[in-house]
């Protein structure tokens, strides 16, 4: 079995290309839809699979990652799968210890406190040695999907990862991480550059393993203002897109569509639209028409229903989806939530969201 399943060759033929077509700006019969955190705790089968295992041990098991990635696709007619993993595997690859503390979330046992702490990080990372388990999970999942839908790989963006590494976990203010940007700008750039290099190799490795699209999560963009974003986030976001595309060409790998999702960074939408990504992901705090006006016609937009809309009755979800589709238009558009699914959401309401996107977009396209 392993020779077949572990080889990133001879993948099954793709049967549903809608997501990839929309990402590339080609015409689609319906608007494709997937959900951030679609493999997650809102599914009872996810909780059951995860129950016995430590979180990061689960991330390191290709078999479990594959199973968790496939679970939502057994329930819903989603147009893409996203590999089950975590953005904090990158700091782990740099030699930092991260543990998942129940009720608290991811916690770094020794966060970066002083500039000297940067010396403790691995300066050269062999991504295959450190993150090969993610690549194995991607290859196994790509075979197991049997061509049903494309598989998305992902990474956290440099600023978001840096903020976790300095804060030691989640934070409402990111004050420790932001203080580095003001007090230690040079060291901050050193760290961001190191992360950029590792993320680039990591994303290229995911494509080599079978990922058919890539998403970069700048989840903590909203903690930066426009100037700090220009200095400490945008240049690295741009560099990653350029370097990944260059290396994919050099290694004769497929040039897969790339998505940038910078949460709460409306002030940077114009720049993000020109940062080298085929798709710009949006959170729920911006109007579709406004996002279109700022990003222009050459990128696909992804988003942006308020995740909490899924607490509404099913008919109401349908109305909200229809309004969203009318705002974005059904083409050059991938429907999603403006952030991830929450653990207490009803799977049936997720199903109602997915089906409403398909039904309403088909109807709009016909008429």
Q: How confident is the model at residue 5 (pLDDT cuts 50, 70, 90)?
A: low
- Output the average pLDDT for the chain: 97
pLDDT digits (tens, 9 = 90+) for 102-135: 889 999 999 999 999 999 999 999 999 999 999 9
Instruction: Please tell me which residue in 50, 60, 292, 332 is annotated as part of the active site.
Output: 50
Q: Mean pLDDT, to the nearest integer, of 24-43?
A: 98
Mean pLDDT of 271-286: 98
CATH of domain 20-366: 3.20.20.210
Catalytic member of 42, 148, 164, 283: 164
Q: Of the listed 24, 41, 75, 190, which one is catalytic? A: 41
Q: Determine contact, residues 333/18, Cβ cutoff 8 Å.
A: no
What was the pLDDT predicted at 1?
43
122 in catalytic set? no
Judge residue 80's burial from the number of C-beta atoms within 10 Å of its C-beta, 0-12 exposed, 13-18 middle, 19 or more buried: buried
37, 142, 238, 332: the catalytic one is: 37
pTM over 0.95: yes
pLDDT of 6 reads 59
- Kindly tell me if the per-residue pLDDT of 7 is higher than 80: no
333 pairs with which residues across the strands? 301
Boundaries of every domain in the chain: 20-366
The answer to whether residues 303 and 338 touch, using CB atoms and an 8 Å cutoff, is yes
Structure confidence at residue 313 (pLDDT): 98
Contacts 24+ apart (CB under 8 A), 15-22: 15/147, 15/148, 15/149, 16/79, 16/148, 16/149, 16/150, 17/150, 18/79, 19/79, 19/80, 19/149, 19/150, 19/213, 19/334, 20/150, 20/212, 20/213, 20/257, 22/300, 22/331, 22/332, 22/333, 22/334
Q: What is the mean pLDDT of the segment spanning 182-205?
A: 98
Q: What percent of the chain has pLDDT over 90?
A: 96
At 220 the pLDDT is 98
- Kindly state the average pLDDT of the residues 241-267: 98
Task: Name the residue among 82, 80, 91 with its Cα closest to residue 56.
Answer: 91
| Burial annotation 110-140 (CB, 10 A radius, 16+ → b, else e) | ebbeeeebbeebeeebebeebbeebbbbbbb
Catalytic annotation on 333? Answer: no
Q: Looking at 24, 75, 86, 193, which residue is catalytic?
A: 86
Q: Around Cβ 324, how many Cβ atoms within 10 Å?
A: 22
pLDDT for 2 beyond 70: no
Q: What is residue 146's predicted lDDT score, i.e. its pLDDT?
A: 98
- Predicted confidence at residue 86, as pLDDT, reads 98
The fraction of the chain above a pLDDT of 70, given in percent, is: 98
* pLDDT for 346 beyond 70: yes
Catalytic site residue 182? no
Q: How far is CA 224 from the centre of its chain?
A: 19
Whether 41 sits among the annotated catalytic residues: the reply is: yes
- Assess whether 197 carries a catalytic annotation: no
Please determine, for residue 97, whether its predicted confidence score (pLDDT) is greater than 80: yes
Mean pLDDT over 257-282 rounds to: 98
Residue 81 has pLDDT above 50, yes or no: yes
Q: Is pLDDT of 9 > 80?
A: no
């Amino acid at each position: 079995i392993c020779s077949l399943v572990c080889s990133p060759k001879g993948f099954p033929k793709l049967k549903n290309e809608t997501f990839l077509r929309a990402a590339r700006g080609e015409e689609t019969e319906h608007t494709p839809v997937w959900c951030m955190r679609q493999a997650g705790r809102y599914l009872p089968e996810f909780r059951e699979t995860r129950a016995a295992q430590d979180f990061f041990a689960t991330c390191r098991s290709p078999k479990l990652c594959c199973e968790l990635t496939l679970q939502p696709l057994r329930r819903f007619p989603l147009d893409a799968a996203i590999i089950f993993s975590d953005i904090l595997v990158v700091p782990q690859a740099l030699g930092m210890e991260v543990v998942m503390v129940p009720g608290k979330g991811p916690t770094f046992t020794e966060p970066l406190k002083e500039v000297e702490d940067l010396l403790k990080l691995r300066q050269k990372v062999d991504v295959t040695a450190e993150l090969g388990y993610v690549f194995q999970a991607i290859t196994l999942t790509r075979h197991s999907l049997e061509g049903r839908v494309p598989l998305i790989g992902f990474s956290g963006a440099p600023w978001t990862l840096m903020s976790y590494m300095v804060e030691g976990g989640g934070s409402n203010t990111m004050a420790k991480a932001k203080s580095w940007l003001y007090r230690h700008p040079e060291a901050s750039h050193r760290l961001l550059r190191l992360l950029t290099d590792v993320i680039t190799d990591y994303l290229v490795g995911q494509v080599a393993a079978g990922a058919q699209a890539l998403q970069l999560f700048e989840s903590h963009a909203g903690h930066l203002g426009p100037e700090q974003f220009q200095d400490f986030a945008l240049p690295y976001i741009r560099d990653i897109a350029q370097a990944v595309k260059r290396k994919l060409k050099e290694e004769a790998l497929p040039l897969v569509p790339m998505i940038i999702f910078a949460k709460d960074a409306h002030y940077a939408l114009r720049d993000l639209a020109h940062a080298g990504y085929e798709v710009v992901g949006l959170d729920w705090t911006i109007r579709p028409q406004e996002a279109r006006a700022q990003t222009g016609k050459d990128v696909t937009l992804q988003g942006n229903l308020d995740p909490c809309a899924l607490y509404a009755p099913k008919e109401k979800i349908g109305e909200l989806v229809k309004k969203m589709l009318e705002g974005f238009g059904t083409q050059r558009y991938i429907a999603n939530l403006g952030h991830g699914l929450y653990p207490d959401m009803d799977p049936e309401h997720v199903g109602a969201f997915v089906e409403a996107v398909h039904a309403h977009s088909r109807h709009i396209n016909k008429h």
